[in-house]
Amino acid sequence: MTRGIVQGEDTRQGAPDAPEGAGSAVDGTGDADGGGEAPGRRRPRRGRRALRWTAVTLAVLMTGTAAAGYLYYEHLNDNIKKDALNLGDNKVAAPTPNAAGQTPLNILVIGSDARDSEENQQLGGARETFGATPLADVQMLVHLSADRSNMSVVSMPRDTLVQIPKCTDPDDGKVYPASEGRTMTNRSLGHGGPGCTVATWQELTGIHIDHFVMVDFAGVVAMADAVGGVPVCVDANIHSRDAEGHGSGLKLEKGTHPVKGEQALQWLRTRYGFEDGSDLARAKAQHMYLNSLVRTLRENATLSSPNRLRRLAEEATRALTVDPGLDTVKKLYDLSNELRKVEPERITMTTMPNRYVGARVEPTEDAEQLFRLVREDIALDGKDAKKKEPAQGTTAPTDPAAPDEEIAVQVRNGTRTYSTAAARGRANTVAGLLVEQGFDRAVADPAVLPSEDRTVIRYPSADLEGDARRVAESLGIPPSSVQRSTDVSGVTLIVGADWREGTAYRAPESDDTTPESAEALNGADDSACMHVNPAFSWS
C-alpha cells in the first residue's frame, strides 16, 4: 500500500489539537512545499468529503428502490449536486469496444478536506479551515471491466507529485494555469473544482474517465448508520490519540467489531495507531473496511426495510456531488446495477505504486504498469481468460485499404514517461520511415503528447479502418494496437514509450501481472486484521 487516500489528521498551524480530517504534517499542509490552501476563490458547494466506491454503490443501490412517487423522486434529484466532468484540454480517447460491443466504465471518487457546513465542521476540522479552498485528499479510480466480470480500484496518495494541467472553471470562466513543475495532486480540486482533478488523472494515467463522484463528509456518518455497521478487526486494543491531541479518536478493543456512524468515519481517517502511522497503513485500513462493506451490503437482509432504504436514499443523495452523466436517481441506480454485477471475489483494491521524494511521493515504473492494465481492461486479479493476439491480417476491416500513397497519416510523439522526457524527433523519424515505404502523405505533428506506453494507431470511422490496419502492417504494429477513436480526425500514429529509438518496431512482451508494490487486496478476504502500533494500545 502507499501513503494516504483518506482525510489526514489536522495539524494546520494554529490548530494543534484539532481532530483528524483537515490535512497533516505529512501532506505538508501549511508549508511552502505544496501543502496549505490552494490558491483561488472559495467554493463552498464543492467541499465534499468522499468515502470509497462502496459508498457510491450503497448510495445508488438504495436510492433507486427508495423513491416512492414522482414528487419524492424529484426531491431526491434536487438533493444531488452537479459539477462539470473535465475542466482540462486533454480529452483522452474512450476505450475501443470489445467484440461484444462492450466498453469499460471508469469512475473517479474524490474527497475534499473542506469544512463547508456547520455539520461537517462539527465532524472534524479547525475553525480557520471553514470555507477554505478544498484539497482533494481522497482520490480513487474505480474501473469496471467491459464484460462486467471484475472490478479494479486504484488509490492515489494525496501527496503524489503531479503536473496539474490548465483548467477552466465553467461557472465564471476563470482560467487556472498549469502548475509550474510538479505539485501535490490534492491541490487540483482548488483549480476550478472536481473536473480539474479528473483532468489531472487523465493527464497522468492516460485513462479515459467517464464519471466522478464526491460524497459529503457528514453523509459518510449517516450512511454508515443506515447500513447498521460494518465489521472491522484490530489485533490489539487501540486508541488513536497521542499526547499532542493528534489522532482520529478511534477507540476499539482487540477483535472484530461492527463500526458505524462517527466511529466508522474515525476508522477510515485513522493514521495514528495503525502499523507505522503512515498513510500506507490508513489506506490498508480503508480497503479492509470497503471490502467488508461490500459483503455487508450483499448479506444484510435489513436493507429490505422501506424505512431504512428511504433514510439511506435521503442521506445519500444529499451527500453526493456528481458530473452531469450521473445527475439523477435513475442514472445512479443504473450505475449501481452495473457495479453489483461483480462478485467480491473479483474485486481488487490497490494503491498506486510510488517512491518517496522528500516528504512527498511520485509514481514509479510499476505505477505505469498498473495504469496500463486498467487502460487495456486487464483484470488485476489475474483471472482473465487469455486473450490471444489475432494474426496480422486475419481480421478483415469493414472497408479495404486505399493505395499506400493515398493514405494520409499523422504521426505524433507520445514517448514521454514519468522518469524521462519525450525522445526528440520521433514523430519526424517515423513519418520519414512511412514516406520511404510509400506512404507519401505521412506527416509529423510537432506537438508532444502525454505518455503512451505503447505505440498505437487510431482512426475515427469505419471507412478508415482498412487504412489504419495497412499502416500497422507495414510497420509491424500488432492489430490490438489499432483502435477506433473519435478523438482523432484521421489515421493517427502515436509513437509510444516502447519505440523511443530506431526504425524497426518491436512490440514488447506483454506482462499482465499486477505489480507486487500495488499491495492488492481481494474483495472476498474477510480475514484481514489491522496491526496496532503498541504506542497507541491500552489495557
Q: Which single residue is written with the C-alpha cell 524497426?
A: 504
Question: Would you place residue 96 in the very low, low, confident or very high pLDDT band (cuts 50, 70, 90)?
Answer: confident
What's 250's DSSP letter?
Answer: -
pLDDT of residue 296: 76
Q: What is the mean pLDDT of residues 503-509?
A: 88
Burial track 132-163 (b if 16+ CB lie within 10 A, e otherwise): bbbbbbbbbbbbbbbebebbbbbbbbbbbbbe
Of 347, 344, 352, 336, the C-alpha closest to 379 is: 347
Q: 233-287 pLDDT, tens per residue?
A: 999 999 999 989 889 999 999 999 999 888 988 998 898 999 988 877 887 888 8
pLDDT of residue 7: 36
Of 201, 192, 208, the C-alpha closest to 162 is: 201
Q: In 10 A of CB 506, how many CB atoms?
A: 9
Is the pLDDT at 169 greater than 60? The verdict is: yes
Are the C-beta atoms of 285 and 274 separated by less than 8 Å? yes
Element at 161 (helix H, strand E): strand 161-162
Quote the cell numbers at residue 135: 484539497
Same fold, 53-382 and 404-495: no
Quote the cell numbers at residue 118: 456547520
pLDDT-above-70 percentage for the chain: 77
Q: Identify the three-state secondary structure at position 208.
A: coil
**CATH no. for 404-495:** 3.30.70.2390
Is the pLDDT at 351 greater than 80? The verdict is: yes
Are the C-beta atoms of 11 and 29 separated by less than 8 Å? yes
Of 10, 37, 49, the C-alpha closest to 26 is: 10
Are the C-beta atoms of 461 and 487 separated by less than 8 Å? no
The Cα–Cα gap between 273 and 357 comes to 24
Q: Which single residue is written with the C-alpha cell 510538479?
A: 182
Chain-centroid distance of CA 81 in Å reads: 20
- Domain over 53-382 is classified CATH 3.40.50.300: no
- Bigger pLDDT: 173 vs 336: 173
Q: Which single residue is written with the C-alpha cell 448508520?
A: 225
Quote the cell numbers at residue 252: 476499539
Dmax over CA atoms of the chain, in Å, equals 81
Q: What is the mean pLDDT of residues 369-389?
A: 83
Q: Among 1-15, 41-55, 270-284, which range has the highest average pLDDT?
A: 270-284
The Cα–Cα gap between 417 and 204 comes to 10
Is the pLDDT at 95 greater than 90? The verdict is: no
Q: 289-327 pLDDT, tens per residue?
A: 877 887 777 766 445 567 767 777 787 788 788 999 999
Q: Which amino acid is at 270?
A: T
- Each domain of the chain, given as residue ranges in start order, spans 53-382, 404-495
Q: In 10 A of CB 70, how many CB atoms?
A: 8
Q: 468-494 pLDDT, tens per residue?
A: 999 999 999 998 888 887 778 999 999
Is the pLDDT at 41 greater than 50? The verdict is: no
Are the C-beta atoms of 103 and 201 separated by less than 8 Å? no
